[in-house]
């Protein structure tokens, strides 16, 4: 598979940011009980957000040469205030990292240890592309979780984003 270009990666990241921000605007208005409410097949709205953010955080650690260990407990953030603090911290690191990228950097191979201790390696651009698609997948679950607690999720289609960008 050919490597992703920096320009395309930046476009995907801009879309990801836009869609995530739109969903957060709705999520930020839910009650703490709604955030932590267990939903059949979806865990909870809070768990979906926490997992999405933890994945970014873990990959930033791996990219930085650190072993972050396993995923932390996704149920640990029970309030909007706690989730928002975690979101702000992780996304600040994410946006700072994205601003440092260039074509040479995204072509570099990143090495890390898999869950069974195996040695793995992949170009940074491919890892970042996976993270963006992973976010898209979980945003679909976040929309379902919002509906399950009686909220109307925002439209986050790529075509809407593209029309808004002009």
Number of Cα atoms under 13 Å in the Cβ half of residue 39: 22
Quick one: pLDDT at residue 133?
94
- pTM value is 0.94
List the structure tokens of 103. Answer: 């074509």
Residue 70 belongs to a domain with what CATH number? Answer: 1.20.120.450
Structural domain that includes position 161: 6-165
Q: What is the pLDDT of residue 70?
A: 84
Query: Count of residues for the chain?
Result: 166
pLDDT reported for residue 1: 54
Q: What is the pLDDT of residue 116?
A: 85
Q: DSSP characters for 36-72?
A: H--BTTTB-HHHHHHHHHHHHHHHHHHHTT----SPP
1 in a domain, yes or no?
no
**Under-50 pLDDT residues of the chain:** none
- The answer as to whether 112 is a domain residue is yes
**Number of structural domains in the chain:** 1
Closest CA to 124 of 101, 146, 144: 101
Predicted pLDDT of residue 2: 56
């Amino acid at each position: 598979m050919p490597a992703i270009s920096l320009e395309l990666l930046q476009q995907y990241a801009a879309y990801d940011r836009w869609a995530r921000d739109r969903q957060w605007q709705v999520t930020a208005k839910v009650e703490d009980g709604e955030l932590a409410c267990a939903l059949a097949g979806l865990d909870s709205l809070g768990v979906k957000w926490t997992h999405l953010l933890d994945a970014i955080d873990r990959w930033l650690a791996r990219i930085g040469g650190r072993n972050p260990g396993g995923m932390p407990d996704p149920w640990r953030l029970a309030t909007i205030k706690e989730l928002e603090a975690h979101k702000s911290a992780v996304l600040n690191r994410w946006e700072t990292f994205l601003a440092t990228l260039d074509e040479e950097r995204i072509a570099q191979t990143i090495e890390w240890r898999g869950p069974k201790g195996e040695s793995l390696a992949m170009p940074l651009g491919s890892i970042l592309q996976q993270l963006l698609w992973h976010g898209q997948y979980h945003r679909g679950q976040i929309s379902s979780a919002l509906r399950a607690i009686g909220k109307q999720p925002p439209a986050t289609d790529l075509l809407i984003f593209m029309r808004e960008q002009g």
